[in-house]
Amino acid sequence: MERCRLVFSGSGGQGLITAAIILAEAAVIYEGLNAVQAQSYGAAARGGVTRSDIIIDDTEINFPKVTQPNILVCLTQEAYDQSFGIIRPGGLLLTDSALVRTKRKADARQRSLPLYRSVQEQIGKTIVLNICMLGALQALTQVVGLDSLLKVISSRVPSQFFELNKKALDLGVELAQNQW
């Protein structure tokens, strides 16, 4: 496989680190791949942009920091403004259409999906925005199987919240498929 380098960026509390860990675990436990996953905290964690890096490959990986992701997710305008320039040419730049309104020119497939609004309207709990994002990402990239994500989610989430999370994941898939 081609090495997959991902960066999730947004604001603290959006659950992007959790999403990164779920993705890494899905790749490793259920797809037999290797993954490294890292976050730096700094001024960012004190109110600004949060960023989590993931690398997935079928060979060994040493350096966990991603300089040029082929998949970049931005869930706030500030995260977008700060990160859009690092996308690898031809990569995928996924944003939320309500949270990132002003786009720049980038040598990438830019996909803007109404994740936040759909989660709010159809599920009513914006805490699962991160899981909805993972669903969309899965449908757009097939970086891991949907079933692998679901298995990790079911092992991490208290059972009474599993259906909520599954609904969010499926909603993300649906939003991506409708726009693709």
Residues of the shown chain interacting with a copy of itself in the complex, contacts defined by CB under 8 A: 17, 21, 24-25, 27-29, 34-42, 45-46, 60-65
> Which CB, 40 or 177, lies closer to a copy of itself?
40
* Euclidean distance between CA atoms 76 and 157, whole angstroms: 25
> Which CB, 25 or 96, lies closer to a copy of itself?
25
**Contact predicate 107/90, CB 8 Å:** yes
Name the pairing type of β-strands 71-74 and 91-96.
parallel
CB atoms within 10 A of CB 155: 11
CB of 5 to a copy of itself, least distance (A): 14
> Which CB, 67 or 178, lies closer to a copy of itself?
67
**Contact predicate 143/159, CB 8 Å:** no
CB of 2 to a copy of itself, least distance (A): 18
**Contact predicate 50/42, CB 8 Å:** no
> Which CB, 45 or 106, lies closer to a copy of itself?
45
CB of 48 to a copy of itself, least distance (A): 11
* Euclidean distance between CA atoms 148 and 136, whole angstroms: 14
CB of 24 to a copy of itself, least distance (A): 5
Type of residue numbered 20: A
Closest CA to 67 of 19, 114, 16, 7: 7
Type of residue numbered 64: P
**Residue-wise over 68-81: b if at least 16 C-beta within 10 A, else e?**
ebbbbbbbbbbbbe
> Which CB, 55 or 113, lies closer to a copy of itself?
55
CB of 112 to a copy of itself, least distance (A): 29
